[in-house]
Structure 1
Amino acid sequence: MYEMPVGLVFNISSEGLYTCPENTVSLDYAKIYPDPDSEKAIMGSVVYCIHHKEGCKWTGELRKLKAHLNTCKHDAVPCTNKCGAQIPRVLMEDHLKYTCPQRRARCEFCGKDFTGHTLENHSGSCGFEPIYCENKCGMKVQRRHLTQHKAAECSKRLVPCRYCSKEFVADTLQVHHTKCGRFPVACPNQCDASILAREDLDLHLKDQCPVFGICCPFRDAGCRFKGNRYALEKHVDENTKHHLERMCFVVSKQQHQIASLKSTLSRMSLNYSGTLIWKISDYTSKLAEAKTKEGMELVSPPFYTSQYGYKLQASVFLNGNGAGENSHISTYIKILPGEYDALLRWPFSHSVSFTLFDQSSVPENACNIVESFIPDPTWKNFQRPSKEPDSLGFGFPRFVSHEMLKKRNFLKDDTMFIRVKVDPSKIVAV
């Protein structure tokens, strides 16, 4: 089969004339094929359709090509709507329906008929097309009603409060009204006053409302009077003595309560463990003072041997007492009158120990000073105390010397710690 290249096939115009494929110049058929035999051979050549690249499968003699092109679905023909476009027959239906500028189409929103070109201009401007509100309220509104919707219906439009004139989003205005200071409210006492602004109501009730029931300023003292401000003024003027008596009663009651609270607080802060850790600070200044004041004694906070036990108190003479005067620190323990003395066994018979802590930075190297004693039941110091306890108690006049204090870390930051411990397991038989 001879394939004539498409580029060498002479074009045939609609008038049946041949034109040059290179420059479209009209050609005389007789001059193209001067030899009938050559013409017959050429016109009998088998060729492809000029649209075979677009998908046409036709092949045949060259003389039949023109007839085939009259029916070839890939050959371009003028648009039947006369829009001026050359459209392949196979695409003509879609062109007429969707892309032809001269096609007839109906707007789906307003129902009017348009040509294809005018429909494109009409789309996006049709007043009947529903579009979302620009304020993002979630509503779809026809374009022709959008301005009215945004001005009067949109829940996200800005509207002024009719009372305070501030602007709010429309769907929050009701919430604002519950707090707006200028919102009109009526007096809860139903007085003759006109409608008030919410922010003015408190002042009205306090100073202006003629029927507002104001409590007597001595209400906390027990006065139950309640009336308007005019009656209240008269009540206060006429009941001065009565109010004063009530206030005196309240003050007396409060004093008893304060005393009770102090007593409770004092009991809560007491030590019931039987062990006292006594911190003595400012040792240097207190020792100097003790040297100038004879018999200067430091006393510890009271403590108990148990919750219902003996009440004790430690004392220290920094400059010594008795045999330790001017050379030692003396330590003593006193038995104080306690709340439960009537239930305890007498004489006091628990062992007592005093410990001066060595405050070494290495605990393993610490060397504490410890002194202890077991009470002698015959001594007066350990009998049940009277209202006035023994002035000295019992202990160690030469507990630790002033020289010894300097040799180790018994003093640190001018502070010493003394532990007084009562051991109930070591009891003397009587």
Structure 2
Amino acid sequence: MAFNSLSQGASLQSAQITPPGSLGDEDGYDPKIFVKSPSNYVCHICQKVLRSPVQLECGHRFCNFCCNNLVKQSDKPVCPVNDCKEPVNREEIVRDHAARRDVLSLIVFCNFKSKGCNIQVKLKNLENHLQECVFATIDCIHKTLGCTAQVERRFLAEHLETECLYSAVKCKFCEEPFSKDELDQHVRRCPKAPVSCPNGCEVKAIPRNQLDKHLSECPLQPSECSFQEYGCNYRGQIIDIQHHLSTALSEHMQMILRSHEDLQLKHAELDRKYSELDNQKSIVDNKFKQQSEELCESKQKNVKLEERVKDLHKTLALQNDKIIKLEHDLKEKASKAEVDTNRMLVHAVQESCAELMNRVEQIEGRPVVTSTGGANSADVNEIRKQLVQVGTQLGMHDVRLAEQDLRFQVLETACYDGKLIWKIKNFARRKQEALTGKTLSLYSQPFYTSNHGYKMCARVYLNGDGMGKGTHMSLFFVVMGGDYDALLQWPFRQKVTLVLLDQETGRRNLSDTFRPDPTSSSFKRPTGDMNVASGCPLFVSQSVLETPTYIKNDTLYIKVLVDTSDLYGP
């Protein structure tokens, strides 16, 4: 790993001191640091040289820190000077800027005089000197990298060069900078460091990154015979391989001939298998063609039977109406004459029924049944079988109609603008089913980014999933397999917003927005009906969810928005 560090010419860290002119919480300056004793500027409280001096009404001067302590110690402070003792008026305490300037102009010794620094500067310039004093003890400039050494500034360069493990040192082979403790480890794997040939050839000092190239040319490199694929197992050094090729020519030719014969046998076997498969294909094609023709004929027969059944139903319905009318007339008439008349009517109905039977037999293509002869039982059974088949086919048509109806319902509720409004009714019952584990999650109806765009849906866990189980409602987004996935760009990258709608004021919607992770399998092109759901396990807490704001009339509304603004390029 390359080592980054400050250059040795950078500014060095200095000892921390309180600025001479500051108003910090400190008493006066130590008189020993001054070249000449400043007896005129001594605080009467701490007996040190004034720091940030203030002056009382009586004229005596004190350090700002000392004066503050004096005022705090008593409700009625007085001047501490023995021959003064005048009351201190807090409002009359003023800063003595003249005395402050005089003190800061006094000459002082360096803080590191004891180490050998003989510099004398004005007190106000002491801080600047300490920032450069070569006798100051400072931290190593590589402290942030882990070096804990503290040295005098004058010895810092020597420390960085000879002792500090974090100083940058260039590799002599690749000239990349590294710390001293990393250099040895780097040299052991440096791509330009010289290594010896593992075969022991005469070439020495090969750069590590050139070793593979050398081995491909090294005369002592073990290699295999170029006729290995034909069965030659000889292995030796490159110089020996050349001699082997020149001496084993006849053996190699025999190997090639045997390999050629084996290939011919395999080719013949493949031709035989191909012929068998081709014959089987022809048989299957003929069967398929025959079944297709039979199926077509069966469909045509079904159509004719359906038409016959419809006509039969109409005729039977008319005759049934006549019989009901006759029964009604019989109940109203009581006289014998009327009974005779009714008998004639019944006879007419019987004739009508016989005529109906004749028409049914004509429809089915059977012989007409006379009034004196009996019906052929075999024909009746055949008609019954055909009626059963017709009933079965009608049932299949009913199932197909039901499937089409369901598909039309889905198409009516589908959206093609990337927006889904999902209405979840019977929330209490569905929540209870989630608690008992009967129905852990619900899927919404599909929606699309466009007529030929991505197909998507939403998935909700009313009792939470994963981290949110039992405490939150979890809401997820699902990419589904669509009819036009081959024409779309993958992975799915559109911004998705999940919203819980406020049913009271419409101003307190709860939402969460995310951009799909292109590396997640949830947004790759679906290989099945749908991908793994992705979204918010902690979408909304149960305590917030189950309020009239979001659940009204036992109904919940969820909105999903997919950003389609950047879906299509110019």
TM-score scaled to structure 1, two decimals? 0.44
More strand by share: 1
TM-score (norm 2): 0.34
Larger radius of gyration: 1
Task: Please state which structure has a larger fraction of its residues in helix.
Answer: 2
